[in-house]
Structure formats: structure tokens, C-alpha cells
Amino acid sequence: MSPSTLAMMLGAGWLLVGIGVGGLLLRQGQPTSAAAAAVLAWPAMVSLLGAESMDAPGAGPFAVKITAAFAALRAALAEPALGGVVELNSLQGIERSLRRADARLAAVDRLLEDPVVASDAGSVRLITARAHAADEVEAVLRQLLAVRVQLGLVALAGDTSAVRAHLGELAARAQALEEVTC
Amino acid sequence: MHLLTLTTQVLRDPDAVAGSGDDHALARLAPPLLVLAVGGAAVLGLAVGASAGPLQSVYAAVKLPALFLVPPLVVLPLVHTFAEACGVSVPWSRLGIATLAGLARSGLLAAAAAPVLWLPFSLDAEYHLAVLAFVATFGLVALPALATLSRAVPTGGRLRWVAVLGTLAMLGLVTAQTGWLLRPFVARPAGVVAFLRPVESDIFSAIGATTRSATGDYDDDWQPRGSGLNRTVRE
């Protein structure tokens, strides 16, 4: 077998797997660009299989903060000393609620950009409700920071009950966001 | 994120890009990072193959991005498993985005190094020196990718250094042999331009031989031996 034939077979195999992974990502609602990248770099992107679609929650004013907060929290929980303190999956519910609230804020912001809506007498109520919802989202994000501080204490003292209780409280508060912002 | 903004961030603070490693960030950042890595490597390939004409340039521009991408991506599952075995838990998405961020940085550095390498190559540099210059340049531009990937392994844990060293060793070995299999990047002066050469020996014996040849020692002339699937064909 000539090296060129062998290389072409290996290359075709690599691309076929990549096309398969890319197709699955598209079916899951991931962006087309991510699916296209997976054709070449599928080993780096297999974690997206089964991940929550990016299309569902629209990016709102807190999208960057939410991403940063959860990335930092997950990185902290990945530390060997903190392994098993909290199931990473348990954070997904909180993140999902926050992203939904964020998407609704974005929708309200788009509405308020319309001068007709903004000049309506009822818009004051909408603006007040939006401010209240934004405060709630910020409060949950601040509490996520507090969880990271508590994780540091867990690493030293080993008492995980406070962190679990705090996360439970956060989950309830994030769940309440669904009602506040509706 | 705009490609130019990402380029700046990858060059200035690749760890920040690698640190944003959740699934959403991976889906958002992977495409532009891949473009930077492949584009940069292709530019270096164009420069490396230039001494043997446009066809060799095209071949090298196709193969060099493969040399950049394939080894780290092939080794990724092994790195993940090795880190877990050493007691260091690295989320897959973090590992993936750190790999792509490191590759993007190396790709950008490769593009920056291309004119430097192209100058001696265009002045008919001696073949063995040209090969060594290419290997040295590739090694230099690959270092930032290795550093970014190793810093993506979380701190803590007594065996973290074993995980990092193991990762670097695996990547080094696989990259070196992949480069050997994908040669020629620099065509021999009297050789026929080809996309790939027959599968022969391994990278380490060849580097030793080309180093001796570069210093004018041709006494122990190296002869490649057919191996792998080509053994029966060549022997």
C-alpha cells in the first residue's frame, strides 16, 4: 500500500468521523460554525455532544457574567481537593434558570429600544419589573461568588454541608427567577 | 467574538481564553481558534515549501496544518485519562478549548515566523541546514501551545507534575513521528516533489543523521529502512 493511499484513507476516516460528529452537533442545535469546526477538530469538541444547545437561551445583558461565573465555579470544583463536594450536573439547573432570565431581559431590552413602546405609559411598569429582575440575577451571581469562597473553606475544614445548603438555596432562588421575570 | 479581538486575546492572554472552558465557550470559540491555527500553519507551510517551487509550497501548506492539529487532537483522550489517573480532574471542554487556544497561538506565531524562514530558504540554503531550521522553528512555535495546555491542568494534587510531564512527553513523541510520516516539508534539491515519502524508519534516527550531515560528516551515511505497512514493499 502506498503512503499516499494510506494517508488518504486515514484522512478520509478522520473526516468521516468529523462529519458524523458535526451532524450530531447540528441536530442538537449547536451553531453551524461549531459543527463545521468539529469536522476537523472533532476530538476537542466531543464534549458538546449532549451539551445544552446554545440556541435555546438568547444571550442577554448578563451572558458574559453568567458564563464567567460558572466557568470559575466549575474550575474550582475541578480541583482535586474539592472533588465530589458538589455534582457538576447540579449546577446546570441554576445556570439554565439564569440564562432563561437573561434571555427574557434581552427580549425586554429589545422591546424598550422601540420608541413607541418606550413612550407608552405602561412602559414604566415594564422598566421597573425589568430592573427588579436584573437585580435578582445580579444577586444570584453574587451568591455564586460566595459559594466559591465557601469552597475554599471546604478545602481547609472539610465541612461540605454549608456549600450544599448554599447551593440548594441558590437553586431555589434561581427557580424563583422564572416567576419574577414572567 | 471578532477574529481580530480574539487574535489579540490569544496572543496577550491565552490562559484567559483557555480558562473560559465550558461547553458554551467551546462552541463559540472553537471555529475562530481553528481558523487561526490552520491559517497560521498554512502560511508557514507556504514559506517552507517555497524553495522547491509552488507545488511543494501547496503540499507543505496542506500538510503543516495537519501536523499542527492531528497530534494534540489524537493525544487528547490519552491526556484526559492520564490526568484522571494522576488524580487531576480536567473537564473535557476545558481541555478542548485549551488545546485549540494553544494551537491558535502557535499558528499565529508560525505565520509570524514564516518570513524569517522564507528568507534563507529563498537564498538556496543547504538542505540539511534548511531541515534543521524548519524543525527548530516548528519546535519554537509549538512551545506556547504546550505551555497553554499544561497550564490548563488545574493546580493542586501531588501528581499534577506527573500529569503535565506525561502530557508533554506524549505530545512531543506523537508530533515528532507525525511530522516524520508527513514529510517532505522541505524537498531535497535533487529529489522529485512528492506529497508524501515512503514510510521509513523513525524521526529520531533521521534527526541524528541530518545533524551529522549538516556538520559535513557523511561517513556514516544513513539509509532509511522500510517499516510498517511498507516493509514488504521496500525490502
Query: Could you state, in order of their start, the residue ranges of all structural domains in chain A?
Result: 3-48, 63-180
Q: Determine if residue A158 is left, alpha or beta; phi over 0 gives left, psi from -120 to 50 gives alpha, anything else beta.
A: left
8 A C-beta contact, residue B45 and residue B113: no
- B228: enclosing H helix or E strand: none
DSSP B193: P
Closest residue in A to B85 (Cα) is: A80
B76 and B170 within one domain: yes
**B98-107 CB burial, b ≥16 within 10 A, e <16:** bbbbbbbbbb
Tell me the chain A residues in contact with residue B73 when contact means C-beta distances shorter than 8 Å.
Answer: 41-44
B202 and B177 within one domain: no
B222 and B146 within one domain: no
User: 516493509: which residue's cell?
Assistant: B231
**pLDDT, mean of residues B100-104:** 91
For residue B72, which amino acid is it? P
The verdict on whether omega for the bond into residue B32 sits within 30 degrees of 0, i.e. cis, is no
- Nearest to B209, CA basis, from B221, B226, B198: B221
Number of Cβ within a 10 Å radius of residue A30 = 26
Would you state the cell numbers that stand for residue B45, as one nine-digit string?
Answer: 507551510
Q: Which of B17, B22, B201, B233 to mutate to test the interface with A (most CBs of A within 10 A)?
A: B22
Provide the percentage of residues in chain B whose pLDDT is more than 90: 14
The answer to whether A71 contacts B96, with C-beta atoms less than 8 Å apart, is: no
| Complex ipTM > 0.85 | no
B129 and B60 within one domain: yes
B202 and B100 within one domain: no
As for how many domains chain B has, the answer is 2
Task: Tell me the C-alpha distance between B184 and B172, whole Å.
Answer: 19
Secondary structure class of B13 (helix, strand, coil): coil
The answer to whether B100 contacts A34, with C-beta atoms less than 8 Å apart, is: no
B234 and B152 within one domain: no
Task: Tell me the C-alpha distance between A106 and B49, whole Å.
Answer: 51
For residue B69, which amino acid is it? L
Secondary structure class of B226 (helix, strand, coil): strand
Q: Which among A90-94, B98-102, B150-154 has the top mean pLDDT?
A: B98-102
Q: Which of A33-47, A92-106, B98-112 comes out lowest in average pLDDT?
A: A92-106
* More confident call, B176 vs B24: B176
Closest residue in B to A73 (Cα) is: B22
**pLDDT, mean of residues B204-213:** 73
**Which of B188, B208, B227 marks a domain boundary?**
B188
Would you state the cell numbers that stand for residue B161, as one nine-digit string?
Answer: 507534575
pTM, rounded to two decimals: 0.63
Domain-embedded: residue B215: yes
Average pLDDT along chain B: 80
B145 and B97 within one domain: yes
**Interfacial residues of A (vs B; Cβ cutoff 8 Å):** 1-4, 6-7, 11, 14, 30-31, 33-34, 36-38, 40-48, 51-52, 54, 67-68, 70-71, 74-75, 78-81, 83, 88
Q: What is the pLDDT of residue B230?
A: 44
pLDDT tens digits along B20-75:
656 777 888 889 999 999 999 999 999 888 877 788 889 889 999 999 999 999 88
Would you state the cell numbers that stand for residue A154, as one nine-digit string?
Answer: 471546604
Q: What is the pLDDT of residue A106?
A: 83
Average pLDDT along chain A: 79
Q: Residue count of chain A, please give it.
A: 182
- B205: enclosing H helix or E strand: helix B203-214
Query: Domain residues for B153?
Result: 3-188
Residue A31 confidence class, pLDDT cut points 50, 70, 90: confident
Tell me the chain A residues in contact with residue B196 when contact means C-beta distances shorter than 8 Å.
Answer: 3-4, 7
- Nearest to B209, CA basis, from B128, B135, B148: B128
Enumerate residues 6+ apart whose C-beta is below 8 A from A179: none
Q: Which among A15-19, B14-18, B149-153, B178-182 has the top mean pLDDT?
A: A15-19
Domain-embedded: residue B193: no
Task: Tell me the C-alpha distance between B119 and B141, whole Å.
Answer: 18
